Amino acid sequence: MKKFDIPDFYKSPIIAKIKELRKNEDPRKQDYSPTALDFGPIKFLIARHFGFCYGVENAIEVVYRIIDENPGKRIFLLSEVIHNQVVNLDLQSRGVKFIMDIYGNQLINWEEINSADIVIIPAFGTTIEVEKILLEKGIDTKRFNTTCPFVEKVWNKATELGIKEYTVIIHGKARHEETRATFSHSMQNAPSLIVKGIEETKFLADYILGKEGEHEFSNFFSGKYSPGFNPQKDLQRIGVVNQTTMLAGETQEIADLLKEAMSKKYGGENLKDHFAETRDTLCYATNDNQGATLELLKHKADFAIVIGGYNSSNTNHLVEILQEKYQTYFLSSAQKIISEELISHFDIQERKEKITENYLPLKEKIVIAVTSGASCPDSVVDEVLNKLLSFFNIRKFEEVLE
């Protein structure tokens, strides 16, 4: 695996040592059990896999190198390079400006951008339409492109399906940057449709089986299918790909449900002519992080903490997993731990921050399950652990463990 040169202030030497130790002990990633850090009155169960992934480290390395190598030049990002507030605020403090927000709303008019500017494509990739605008302006779309290779892998799979005359069903969030990019690329070669989750997929299956009409289909999936989409014709042959950060189990459930619907409609003996067996297109980091988080559920803990950007899809899914068993606090930084009595955290159902009192239980030993999203720097995890340790008059965990 390539080693990336990311700024030191995003690193944590101790967490790096822990990750390296686990990697050396288990190079084939067969042991997903958490790492236990026991400090007496407080014990952390840290997920086997968490934090920066390949695509994120690549994007961060490229962006900071561009900043260093181009003093005085105007540098723009199409939108957030990754979904992490700490990283994006730091880039803005260095003069980098965002052309769009995460939903594609324009923050800077295209008229203000010219060929002398540097425009960086974020890790999520971008749409064909935006690429065309950049090219028309004389902007190099290859040199400053940080699109994650695992996102491009999904695009390639969609192209392959289109060549074989399958319609592409994209499991993703329609407003998410990556899904918008995948949808744009996919519909160049195939009719394409986005489903967010299992409920939308059930509706799609009902339409395929004749339980819903075309008018209902058009209303239900408004804005989520490619131009000229003909459900009667285009849903006769389908294949499933996904936004790389979705829940792996949900993607499989969606594929299984659609496969069952096609089998019922066309007969099991004809299934291969109507349903493409696609391998899961989640990235390795999403699989590893979700697998390690599921492993946390096998252990006893008083509560869980998930650290990362509130608009990070992969991090939200880690919260969903841990909420099945634990009271789970979703934090963007250590500053959200206000005191021993108060913690500010993000509620993924209500989509807002709230404050909880008395989150630390009154007991001799507190056990906390900890993980972070693929766009969260290890240094932020470091700060969260040290903030909690400080309430127990324990030195920084770097000093204790060295």
Catalytic residues: 178
DSSP 3-state of 37: strand
Please, how many CA atoms are within 13 Å of residue 245, restricted to the half-sphere of its CB?
A: 26
Residue 237, both tokens: 């042959």
Cα 54 to chain centroid distance, Å, stands at 12
- d(C-alpha 57, C-alpha 145), whole Å: 13
- d(C-alpha 193, C-alpha 242), whole Å: 11
Helix (H) or strand (E) holding 226, with range, is none
Cα 294 to chain centroid distance, Å, stands at 17
Query: Contact, 18 vs 372, CB < 8 A?
Result: no
Phi, psi of 145 (to 5 degrees): -110, 115
Nearest alpha-carbon partner for 177 in 251, 244, 227 = 244
Residue 245, both tokens: 């950060």
Q: What is the end-to-end Cα distance of the chain in Å, rounded?
A: 27
Sheet holding 97-98, edge to edge: 97-98, 75-77, 118-120
